[in-house]
Amino acid sequence: MHTIVLATQKGGSGKSTLAIGLALAAKQAGFTVRLIETDPQGTLSNWQRRRAADDLVVEPIYHAADIAPRLNMLADGGLQLAIVDTAAGLSAATAAAIRHSDLCLIPARPSVADIEATASTLSAARAWKRPYSFVLNQTPIRGQRIDNAAGALAEEAALDLAEVLARPLIVMRNDHQDALASGLAVSEFAPNGKSADEIRGLWHWIETRLELEAPSNVLIDQVMSATDGMPHIATERAADETTTLAS
């Protein structure tokens, strides 16, 4: 199993919409996928409640100690891909997810504040010696700001831009938010649109980066049945913590 973590210090960078879009792109490419939510804000859980289909499982895991055991259970059950959406900042849960990732994606809007906010996530990925890439997200269609932001990210990582910046850049369009509100991924909401093409392109870039190949003989229902048959310790603890916070 491969684990992709979306993490960054700054809120509003589009981690959740990217996680959803990539999950559907991976599923359409033939992978079995689970979305892991470590953000108590619950954007993915709320999205799933609005979703008519039950083909993508969102699993809340809010306690850092539960992340590694659950990822191991999913891997043992035959799952091929876990995509982890994290909260803004660098919490214990986010640090644990990064530690066990095969790729840490760091979304950043093309602004000075967003680029500066990538530093702590970049440090965590480096500390655990995990592969990472920046995703320039919510960019204008064109402009000097994009080039400046890309150059700044390369300087931040002190590596050649081709090594650290995922492609393509994800342009700011209403399709992403409209899809989120409808319980859909952008490739379902507007499958022939430019936003869907960009997300599919980003998934293809990730496939190449991680040298992934989806086996053709794995049935999604069988894998999900196997993984769901294991104890959901993380989910139960998350529910308890949510109840405690609410009270």
| Contacts for 162 with CB less than 8 Å, ≥ 6 apart | none
Radius of gyration of the chain (CA): 17
Q: State the chain's mean pLDDT as an integer.
A: 84
CA 191 to chain centroid, in Å, comes to 20
**3 state SS of 9:** coil
**CATH number of the domain enclosing 220:** 3.40.50.300
Write down the pLDDT at residue 236: 45
Write down the pLDDT at residue 109: 86
Backbone φ and ψ of 20, nearest 5° = -65, -50
In a domain, 135, yes or no: no
pLDDT digits (tens, 9 = 90+) for 210-236: 999 866 544 444 444 444 544 344 444
Q: Are 202 and 20 in contact (CB under 8 A)?
A: no
Query: Number of structural domains, the chain?
Result: 1
In a domain, 121, yes or no: no
Q: Are 75 and 1 in contact (CB under 8 A)?
A: yes
Write down the pLDDT at residue 117: 84
Q: Are 77 and 106 in contact (CB under 8 A)?
A: no
pLDDT at 158 over 60: no
pLDDT digits (tens, 9 = 90+) for 53-106: 889 999 999 999 999 999 999 999 999 999 999 999 889 999 999 999 999 999
In a domain, 169, yes or no: no
Instruction: Place 238 in a pLDDT band, splitting at 50, 70 and 90.
Output: very low
Alpha-carbon torsion, ordered 42, 43, 49, 54, to 10 deg = -110
Write down the pLDDT at residue 9: 87
Which pTM value belongs to this model? 0.82
In a domain, 7, yes or no: yes
pLDDT at 196 over 70: yes
pLDDT digits (tens, 9 = 90+) for 37-49: 999 999 999 999 9
In a domain, 22, yes or no: yes
- Structural domain for 98, as ranges: 2-106+174-246
